[in-house]
Structure 1
Amino acid sequence: MSRAGLGEGVPSGNYGNYGHANSGYSAREEENKHTERMRRQVKVIRDLTIEIGEEVKTQNKLLAEMDSQFDSTTGFLGRTMEKLKILSRGSQTKLMCYMVLFSLFVFFVIYWIIKLR
């Protein structure tokens, strides 16, 4: 068949379904552009998500370290407070004994001074 048999007077070209030249091609080209743009956006979002995940892991690790440090500090302070309580109980008794002994010593020194006069 010759070209004349397909439709005389119609210029050659791709007219698609609606009779517009290259309309199917340009629609696919637009779709490809949108698809490419969406692919880039998805890649950016994916990269951001990966970075956020890595940051969360790092922050969780730091929080775990801080938690263990706080626990050890709490234990250390607790032991120190217990020692201070023991010290304060014991030192009050010792302090009272020292005060009584000092008072007796001063009393005997004054008595001795008065007796020698």
Structure 2
Amino acid sequence: MIKEEPGLRIDRQVAIAGRVTQADRGPLAGAVVRLTKMPTEWLQRVQAASALSVNNPGCATTRPNGVFYFLDLPDGEFAVAAGSGPEVQATVTRDAGGRIQMVWVDLNFSPPAKAGR
């Protein structure tokens, strides 16, 4: 548990956000969104988190309205996908003040193919 210190402020920034929809259902809740391409230093962080079985910063789950987000990503080229749907490219950058410029992506969900089909 994190103990709050007086005057301490943690400022998180949304880097990539978007909505996942499925053709016959509209916005999709509970879909897993993955970063499928990312800068090397972020890939190493994702791999380390996966090895420790802690929250994976390379995955997000959509809310009831189909919206997802990734926080505090480094500058660079990313690709995002949901299910076996197509990847969408996103470039994360910062403004002159160092604030992340949020990128919005719309993803179409395709269920993964079932084994044996």
* Bin of the TM-score, shorter chain as denominator length: under 0.3
Normalised to the residue count of structure 1, the TM-score between the two structures is 0.14
User: Which protein is richer in strand relative to its size?
Assistant: 2
User: Which protein is richer in helix relative to its size?
Assistant: 1
Instruction: Choose 1 or 2 for highest CA Rg.
Output: 1
